[in-house]
Amino acid sequence: MSYEREGVNKLKGSNMGIILVLFILLVIVTCAVNTVNIPPPDDGSSSITATRGFDILNNTQNITFDRVSIEGSVAQPYPMSLIPPGVEIHFNLTSSFTRSTGTVTYIASVNNQYVGGLRFSMVSFAGINTYFSDVITNGAFDTSSSFPLLEPLLTIYDL
């Protein structure tokens, strides 16, 4: 019986080890780079939130309102900044289980001439009770608020 000695090819085993190490490195790099779909960690400050809608209707004959500021919990995207006569816009207020307020200020103009101003706050209490508050007008127009279809409506009309 003749025996032949079989040797282990060190080069072939070494290549498999390199391939295994490269594969592990590829997995690590892919996981480290692909963080786009992973949400940021919760810092404990977030809570359950929703948005509540508020409508503003410009029912004047010729007054255009131009938004100059937004403060508070008004959710983006904001509606267009101009409210021409006959146009209704919609704001959303970010609402949580506490009182949320957003305040918006407009200037009023006729043919690009300043004729007054409008400022109002939108309030949501506990995400259930929503209403307009602190409505201030300065000009030949006034406002009234109603609650059709469960969303507050602020109507601006001529005096």
**Every domain of the chain and the residues it spans:** 50-143
What does residue 72 show for φ and ψ, rounded to 5 degrees? Answer: 90, -150
**Bridge partners of 148?**
none
Between 9 and 137, the higher pLDDT residue: 137
- Determine the Cα angle at 73 with ends 120 and 67, to 5°: 45
Read out DSSP for the chain? ---------HHHHHHHHHHHHHHHHHHHHHHHH--TTSPPPP-S-----EEEEEEEEE--SS-EEEEEEEEESBPSSPPPSEE-TT-EEEEEEEE-SSEEEEEEEEEEEETTEEEEEEEEEEEEETTTEEEEEEEEEESSEEEEEE-GGGS-EEEEEE-
Q: Is the pLDDT of residue 97 over 90?
A: no
pLDDT digits (tens, 9 = 90+) for 98-136: 899 999 999 999 999 999 999 999 999 877 789 999 999
Instruction: Give the position of tokens 């040797």.
Output: 7
Q: How confident is the model at residue 42 (pLDDT cuts 50, 70, 90)?
A: very low
Share of the chain above pLDDT 90, in %: 55
Average pLDDT along the chain = 84
Q: Is the pLDDT of residue 6 over 70?
A: no
Class of 50-143 in CATH: mainly beta
Which residues, at least 6 apart from 66, have a Cβ–Cβ distance to it below 8 Å? 81, 82, 83, 106, 107, 108, 109
What pLDDT is recorded for position 43? 47
**CA R_g for the chain:** 31
What pLDDT is recorded for position 85? 98
pLDDT digits (tens, 9 = 90+) for 50-78: 889 999 999 999 999 999 999 999 999 99
What pLDDT is recorded for position 27? 76
Would you say 110 and 66 are in contact if contact means Cβ atoms under 8 Å apart? no
